Amino acid sequence: MNYLKEERLNALAAEYVVGTLRGKARTRYQKLMMQYQAVSDATAQWEQYLTGFAETLPPVTPPDSVWESIQVKLGHKAANDTEFVDQTTNAKPSSDNVIDLEKEKQKRWKNLSFISTAAALVLAVLLFMMQPVPTPEVSHIAVVNNADNAPLWVIEVSDTTMNVKVTDAFVALADKDYELWMVPANGEAPISLGLMPEVNGDTRATPDILLDQSIAALAVSLEAPGGSVTGAPTEVLYIAPIVSV
Amino acid sequence: MEHETLFPLLCKTADGDKKAFAELYKITSPQLYAVALKLLKRPELADEATQDAYIKIWHNAGNYQRGKGTVLTWMVSIARYRALDLIRYHNVRNEVELNDDAPSGMETTQSIKLEAEQAKLASCLDELDGPQRQAIHLAYVNGMSHQEVVTHLASPLGTIKSWIRRGLQSLQRCLSL
C-alpha cells in the first residue's frame, strides 16, 4: 500500500485526527508522521479543519488541583507547598524539597552515559567474542541499558540494516512506547529512528542519516503510545554510545 | 485572542517564562479541560489528561509551528491525543446521553465568537447530511470508536464507516473552496 498517495493519505490523516484510526494502524500512522513531512502536514491540516468541533464546546474550568499538580510535576513548585515557589524566569526555588528536574536530568544523563559506555563496551566485546564467525556487515553496535545497568536492547547496525533485539530484562509498559533517537555529534536536535520493538526484536533499514552523520550516541525516550508527536524526545531515559566493531 | 495573546504567551513559555505559562493555562485550560472531559467522561481522567497535556506543552512550546495551525488548535490537539490514549488505556466505555450528542447547526453556529475559519467550518458542517455530521461528531468529540458509533446510532458498521469517510471528504471539499 502506498501511504503517500494523496487521497489515501488524506483519508488516513482525517481518521487519525478524528480518532477512529486505532490500534496498530494508529501506531503505524504516527511513525509515518515522523518519517514524512507530507503526513505531518496533512495531519496538521485536518487538526485545523476539525478543531472547530472542540473549540465550540462550552468551556469547563478544571479544578485547582490540576494546576497545582502541573506545577509540582514540572518542579515549579514543591508538593504540599501552598505558595508559588517562584514565578520569575531565572530565579531558582529556594526550598530544598524542590527537585530541579533539569539538574536531575543532567545528572541522570551523565551517570547513565558513563555506566552505559562501560557496559556497552564490555557487552560489545563479549558479543564480538561470542560470534566465532562475526557477521561481516555489522559495523556498529550499541547496547541500551537501564538504570540498573541491565541491557534492554542490543542494536546492530550494518550499511543496510539495523537489527534491534529485545532482552529478557525489558518490561513493556501498557500505556507507553519507547522511541529510539540518534544524537548528532554536531549538537543538533536528536533525530527519531522509530519506535523500539518490545518483543523479540526487529530489523529495519538503516536510515541514510545514520550513516551520513557523525553520531554522539543513541538515546531512548519514553513516549505516549505511537511515539513523540512533536518530533522531539519527550523524556529521555537511556543513552547508549554507538561503537564500531 | 489568538494572535494578540496566545502566541506571545507560548513564545515566552518556550523561553521558560513560568508567569506566561500560568497565564496561558488560565486562558486556555477551560477549553482543553472541556475537550478532555467530553472525551473521557470521568473527571479524574480529564484531570490527568489536562495535566499531561500542559506538561507536554511546557516542554514542547518551542516546537509549535505557526504555519501549521493556531496555538489553540495545537494545544487542543495535544489534549485530545492524550485523552484518546487514556480512553484506550482505561478502556473507557463511550456512552453518551441521547440529548448530549447530536450537534445541531445551532450549536455550532451560536458558540462564542467564531473567527473566519471557524465560521467556515460551522457552515461546512451545516452542509453535511445529518447522520454524517453526527457520526463524525460522536467520533471526534466523544472519542467513540467505529464500533461504538455503530451501537449508538444503531446502523451497520459499513454504513458508519461510509458516513464518516464521506462526511470528511465533503467537509474537506467545502473547506478548501
Q: What mean pLDDT is reported for chain A?
A: 77
B chain contacts of residue A50, beta-carbon cutoff 8 Å = 121, 140
Phi-psi region of A19 (alpha: psi -120 to 50; beta: other; left: phi over 0): left
Judge: B73–A87 Cβ closer than 8 Å, yes or no.
no
Tell me which chain A residues have a C-beta less than 8 angstroms from the C-beta of B76.
Answer: 51, 54-55
**Alpha carbon distances (Å) from B156 to B131, B139, B149, B150:** 13, 15, 9, 6
Domains in chain B with CATH codes:
2-89 (1.10.1740.10), 98-175 (1.10.10.10)
Write the burial class of residue A214 (CB in 10 Å: 0-12 exposed, 13-18 middle, 19+ buried).
Answer: exposed
Report whether B77 contacts B60 (CB < 8 A). no
Residues of chain B with pLDDT > 70, as a percent, come to 83
Cell of A198: 518490545
Q: Does A55 touch chain B (CB under 8 A)?
A: yes
Average pLDDT of the residues of chain B? 84
CB contact (8 A) between residue A19 and residue B143 = yes
Confidence at residue B93, expressed as pLDDT on a 0 to 100 scale: 64
Instruction: Kindly indicate the confidence band of residue A84, based on its pLDDT and cuts at 50, 70 and 90.
Output: very low
* pLDDT score at B1: 58
pLDDT in the model for residue A59: 93
d(CA B166, CA B177) in angstroms, rounded, equals 17
A119 Cβ contact list (under 8 Å, min separation 6): A143, A145, A149, A151
- Interface check A10 vs B, CB under 8 A: yes
**DSSP percent split of chain A into helix, strand, coil, nearest 5:** 35, 25, 40
Three-state SS annotation for chain B: CHHHHHHHHHHHHHCCCHHHHHHHHHHHHHHHHHHHHHHHCCHHHHHHHHHHHHHHHHHHHHHCCHHHCCHHHHHHHHHHHHHHHHHHHCCCCCCCCHHHHCCCHHHHHHCCCCCHHHHHHHHHHHHCCHHHHHHHHHHHCCCCCHHHHHHHHCCCHHHHHHHHHHHHHHHHHHHCC
Range name among A102-106, B79-83, B155-159 with the lowest pLDDT average? A102-106
Structure confidence at residue A229 as a pLDDT band (50, 70, 90): confident
Chain mean position to CA A90? 28
| Domain-wise residue ranges, chain A | 6-55, 101-244
Identify the helix (H) or strand (E) that includes residue A239.
strand A235-240
Is it the case that residue A210 has pLDDT exceeding 80? no
The overall pTM is greater than 0.80 = no
Q: Which of residues 206-235 of A touch B (CB under 8 A)?
A: 224-225, 229-232, 234
pLDDT surpassing 60 at residue B104: no
Answer with the residue of higher pLDDT: A83 or A148.
Answer: A148
